[in-house]
Amino acid sequence: MAPSSDGPPASYLRTLDCVHCGLCLPHCPTHQVLRIEADSPRGRIYLMRALAEGRVDDAEAIRPFLDRCLDCRACETACPSGVRYGEILEDTRATLERARPKRGVAAWLTRTLLWHVVARQRRLRFLFWWLRVFEVLGLQRLATALRLLPAHVATLAPPVPPARERRPLRTGLHRPAEGTEVRGRVALFTGCVMEPLFGRVNRATLDLLLANGFEVDVVAAQRCCGALLVHAGQPDRARQLAAANVRAFRDADVVINNAAGCGCALKEYGHLLGTDEGRRFAAKCRDICEFLAHEGLTATPRPFHGRLVYDDPCHLCHGQGVRSAPRELLRQVPGVELVEAEHSADCCGSAGIYNLLQPELAAAIGERKAAEIRACAPAAIATGNPGCMMQIDSHMHRSGHSVPVRHPVEFLLPPP
C-alpha cells in the first residue's frame, strides 16, 4: 500500500477480510489474560473498522484497547481469512497519532527517545555510557529507592555490559580466515539496541558467518530499522530511516539481521515505503537462522550438553514465518537436547517497549511464558530477539530459576 496522508483506505479494506469467526481469540496473549472482547484481535479489528467508518465518537475511548495490543501477530498465523492485522493496527495507530498525538510524560519521552536517541547510534552509545556509569556507581538503585525511577523499569532494564562488550563492530568488509572456502558475501544489519546491550550477539553473528565461509560487509551508513517508530504510530519518521537503509544496502545481494523485530520491519519496507526500491530491499533481507538453515552449516558448533528450550520470537514466527530454521540449526549442536515448551509461539510480553508502557500486562504475560519454560527444566534458553532475551531473562530470574538466555547464534559458533 502506498502511504497516504488522508486516512488509511487500504488498511480499512483489510478490516473487511474479517468475518468475525473468532478463531484468533485463543492465540491472543492479551485476550488470554484479560478475556475482554475489545482486547482481542476480533474486537480490535471491529473497533478499527468502526473508527474508519466514522462510527466512533471519541477515538480516545478505544485507544487503550489498541495500545494494549502487543502487535505480536499471533492472530495472523491463526486467521483462516488471511487478515493482515499488523498493517491495520500500524496504520490505525499512525492515523490516531497524527490526529491527536498522545499526551503525558511517558508518551513525550517515548517519542523523544525513539527519534532523537534510539534512531541515532552515537547518541544511543552515549546514553548507554551514562547508564553504565550510573550502574557502576549504584545510582540506579538509589533512584529506585528514592522513587525517581519506577520499579518496573529498574527490574526490566538489564545490566549494561562493560565497554568492551558494547564496542561496535568494525565497519567494512570482513573476510573468513585463511583456508576457509568462501561461499559468498553478505551484508550485516547490526540494529540499534543489539549493539550496546548484546554486542556479543553481533560479534557471534559475524564470527558464525565467517566460520561458515561468508564474507561479511558491515555497512557503515546503516540506521535503526524504524520498527519501534512504526509501532508507536510514527511511520513518517520510520520512512526516513527506511530510505536511508535502502540506500546504504544498495549494493548488497543479501542483508542478514539477527533481531526478529528488526528483521520483520526490514521485510516490510515494501509496505512502509510503497516503492519498488523498498520491495526489492525487503526481498533480500534474511534472518540469520533462516539464511544459515538454507545454506547449511559447514562449521560444526561447539558441543552443548543439556536441555535447551528454543522460544519463538513473535516477529520471527508470526511476522516472518520462520519456525523450523532455528530448530533445525540448534539440533546440529553436538550433545544438545532440544525441548519444546508449551505455547512456544506465544508472545513473552516484551514486544518492543511494551513492557515499559504496559508493565502490568507485560508482567502477567511474561510470567506465563516463564512458567511454561520452567516446566521444561532447561539448562539454557535460546531466542532470537533482544527484547525477548531481556524479558525472558528477567522473568526467569524473578521466579528464581535463572538460566542463561542466549541468541541461537551463540550456540552455533564452532570451538575457537
Residues in contact with another protein by the rule CB under 8 A: 16-23, 25-26, 35-38, 42-44, 46-47, 50, 55-59, 61-62, 65, 77-83
Q: Are 27 and 16 in contact (CB under 8 A)?
A: no
- Across the strands, what pairs with 405? 381
Closest approach of another protein to the CB of residue 25, in Å: 5
Task: Tell me whether residue 83 or residue 266 sits nearer to another protein (CB atom).
Answer: 83
Task: Tell me whether residue 22 or residue 404 sits nearer to another protein (CB atom).
Answer: 22
Closest approach of another protein to the CB of residue 68, in Å: 12
Which strand ranges, in their side-by-side order, compose the sheet holding 255-257? 172-174, 214-218, 184-188, 255-257, 285-287
Task: Tell me whether residue 120 or residue 327 sits nearer to another protein (CB atom).
Answer: 327
Number of residues written out for the chain: 416
Task: Tell me whether residue 34 or residue 131 sits nearer to another protein (CB atom).
Answer: 34
Burial of 305 (0-12, 13-18, 19+ CB in 10 A): exposed
Largest CA distance in the chain: 68
Alpha-carbon distance 230 to 273, whole Å? Answer: 12
Residue 184's nearest CA partner among 209, 203, 163 is: 209
Closest approach of another protein to the CB of residue 42, in Å: 8
Task: Tell me whether residue 29 or residue 196 sits nearer to another protein (CB atom).
Answer: 29
Q: Are 52 and 34 in contact (CB under 8 A)?
A: no
- Across the strands, what pairs with 339? 309
Q: Which three cell numbers stand for residue 168?
A: 561496535
Q: Are 260 and 348 in contact (CB under 8 A)?
A: no
Alpha-carbon distance 146 to 142, whole Å? Answer: 6
Closest approach of another protein to the CB of residue 43, in Å: 4
Task: Tell me whether residue 85 or residue 128 sits nearer to another protein (CB atom).
Answer: 85
Closest approach of another protein to the CB of residue 39, in Å: 9
Q: For 196, list phi and psi in degrees, rounded to 5.
A: -70, -30
User: What is the DSSP secondary structure assignment for residue 137, as one 8-state letter?
Assistant: T
Closest approach of another protein to the CB of residue 110, in Å: 24
Task: Tell me whether residue 64 or residue 159 sits nearer to another protein (CB atom).
Answer: 64
Task: Tell me whether residue 26 or residue 172 sits nearer to another protein (CB atom).
Answer: 26
Q: Are 209 and 216 in contact (CB under 8 A)?
A: yes
Closest approach of another protein to the CB of residue 359, in Å: 16
Residues 6+ apart with CB under 8 A from 149: 140, 143
Closest approach of another protein to the CB of residue 291, in Å: 24
